[in-house]
Amino acid sequence: MSQPTQEILSDDILIRRVPPSSDSFATVAPTGTGRLRAASQMMSVRDNEDALSCSLLRLTSPIQLLENLRSQQIDPTGWQVCAFLVHDVHSLEFEVEFSPITGSDIGHCGIRTPLQGGPKFQNAKAKRLAKLTIILNEEEIRDPSRIHALFK
């Protein structure tokens, strides 16, 4: 059976979970505009991993993404969600591949290098991508329609 397809547009928004940040373990960093962004380590992959997991906002809501933590026996309290634009992923010469996880994350995507057999997802570029993310506040998590305004 072939993989379901989904056209991913340049102005689509992607979201990804970010673990709780604390004084002793920084998972977010301040932006110049008074908001928070994901720390670059939170936008990196493991050595043996070739794609960075994220979800398409129009198919997976931030609340759903956080609720999915329960299936891993993780309490979502304190967890955050960062958002970023497909356009910015493309500007770093990565591509977004739709790879839905039936039942739990129908908007799941992987960010990877477009080159067949080329270099894997480069964590140095993850640093650039992290700087283009925005950590969503509670209102934006509850009402995702507010998220688009962040990238206007």
| 74 in contact with other proteins (CB under 8 A) | yes
Residue placing its CB nearer to other proteins in the complex, 131 or 148: 131
Residue 133 CB neighbours (<10 A): 28
Distance separating alpha carbons of residues 139 and 62, to the nearest angstrom: 11
Q: Tokens in use for 89? A: 């992923």
Tokens at 76, concatenated:
């979502």
Cβ proximity to other proteins: between 45 and 86 the closer is 45
**Burial profile 67-100: b = 16 or more Cβ within 10 angstroms, e = fewer:** ebeeeeeeebeebbbbbbbbebbeeeebbbebbb
Q: Pick the closer one to other proteins by CB: 79 or 151.
A: 79
Q: For residue 23, state whether it binds other proteins (rule: CB under 8 A).
A: yes
Q: Does 55 bind other proteins (CB under 8 A)?
A: no
Q: Name the one range near other proteins by CB under 8 A: 2-10, 23-31, 85-93, 111-119.
A: 23-31
Residues near other proteins (CB under 8 A): 17, 19, 23-27, 29-30, 32, 39-42, 44-47, 49, 53, 69, 72, 74, 79, 123-124, 127-128, 131
